[in-house]
Structure formats: structure tokens, C-alpha cells
């Protein structure tokens, strides 16, 4: 493989991919759409194109970049979608006081009739029954 046969665009993509993989470059929020099915399909198609129609080293590197792009974009999407305001939550908690607790009939019956903590100590009873076990041949140690 000759360095002259590699186009400047492939060299630029190779450097860009290496920078993206080596440094923890955050994925911009506009790329959070990649986390959708259509976005994943587009990334897959571009990766296949680069794998089959460019330098083999760039094709293999594009697979790692696609994986990292999908991983980082999913993190960005979850951070954007799941950031509720703490102040808003405190206001909502103030508006909704905890409900008054009324035990159910089942809880009342169990609390009255359950022998937990109220039973007698265990009494050992001797029996005339003695279990017998024959010698096992061919049995494993486990």
C-alpha cells in the first residue's frame, strides 16, 4: 500500500477519527438524534461504505468510531432527557404532603395474630427414628 494512493480526504478522516477516539471529545447535543433507529441505520451505512470503499485501516477505524459515537450520543441523549430541576421537585414535594397512613385489615390481623417475637423457645424432641443411608458407589465428591 502506497502513501501516494491515499487521498487527502482519507488522511483527514483518519486524523479526525484518531482525535475522536483518543481524546474524550463530548458529542454535541445535535448528534443525540443518532440514538434513534434511523440515526443508527445511517451510522451503520456510512461505516459499511467506509469499510468497503476506502483504505482498510480507515475502514476498521470507522467501526470503532461508529461504536464510540453511538455510545457517546446515547449518554448525551439521556443526560438531556433526564435532568429535572431540583427546585421544581422541591415545590412539587411541598404541594403533595405524605398521605396519612391507615393500616389495612390484613395488616391489623397479622400484627395481632403473628407469633413473631411472641412464640416459645424451640424444644428439642428426641425420636426413635434413625435415617439410614447406604454407601454410594460411583457418586461424585460434589
Cβ atoms of residues 27 and 20 within 8 Å: no
Between 130 and 41, the more confident residue is 41
User: Within a 10 A sphere around the Cβ of 10, how many other Cβ atoms?
Assistant: 15
How far is residue 58 CA from its own chain's centroid?
30
Could you report the per-residue pLDDT of 108-142, keeping only the tens digit for each? 888 787 766 666 667 777 888 877 777 777 767 66
| Nearest-angstrom CA–CA distance, 125 and 3 | 90
Average model confidence (pLDDT) across the chain: 79
Quick one: average pLDDT of 8-28? 88
Instruction: From residue 78, give the alpha-carbon distance in Å to each of 75, 83, 121.
Output: 5, 8, 55
Cβ atoms of residues 58 and 16 within 8 Å: no
Grid cell of 111 as nine digits: 400484627
Does residue 2 carry a pLDDT above 90? no
pLDDT of amino acid 3: 61
Q: Residue 79's pLDDT band (boundaries 50, 70, 90)?
A: low
**What pTM did the predictor assign?**
0.51
Both ends of the chain: CA-CA distance in Å? Answer: 59
pLDDT of amino acid 75: 62
Extract long-range pairs of 88-92: CB within 8 Å, 24+ residues apart.
Answer: none
Amino acid at each position: 500500500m502506497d502513501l501516494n494512493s491515499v487521498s487527502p480526504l482519507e488522511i483527514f478522516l483518519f486524523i479526525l477519527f484518531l482525535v475522536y477516539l483518543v481524546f474524550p471529545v463530548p458529542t454535541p447535543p445535535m448528534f443525540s438524534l443518532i440514538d434513534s433507529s434511523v440515526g443508527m441505520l445511517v451510522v451503520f451505512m456510512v461505516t459499511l461504505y467506509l469499510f468497503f470503499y476506502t483504505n482498510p485501516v480507515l475502514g476498521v477505524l470507522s467501526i470503532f468510531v461508529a461504536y464510540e459515537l453511538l455510545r457517546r450520543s446515547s449518554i448525551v441523549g439521556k443526560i438531556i432527557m433526564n435532568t429535572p430541576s431540583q427546585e421544581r421537585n422541591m415545590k412539587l414535594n411541598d404541594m403533595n404532603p405524605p398521605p396519612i397512613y391507615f393500616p389495612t385489615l390484613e395488616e391489623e390481623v397479622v400484627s395481632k395474630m403473628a407469633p413473631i417475637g411472641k412464640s416459645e423457645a424451640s424444644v428439642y424432641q428426641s425420636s426413635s427414628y434413625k435415617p439410614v443411608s447406604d454407601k454410594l458407589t460411583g457418586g461424585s465428591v460434589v
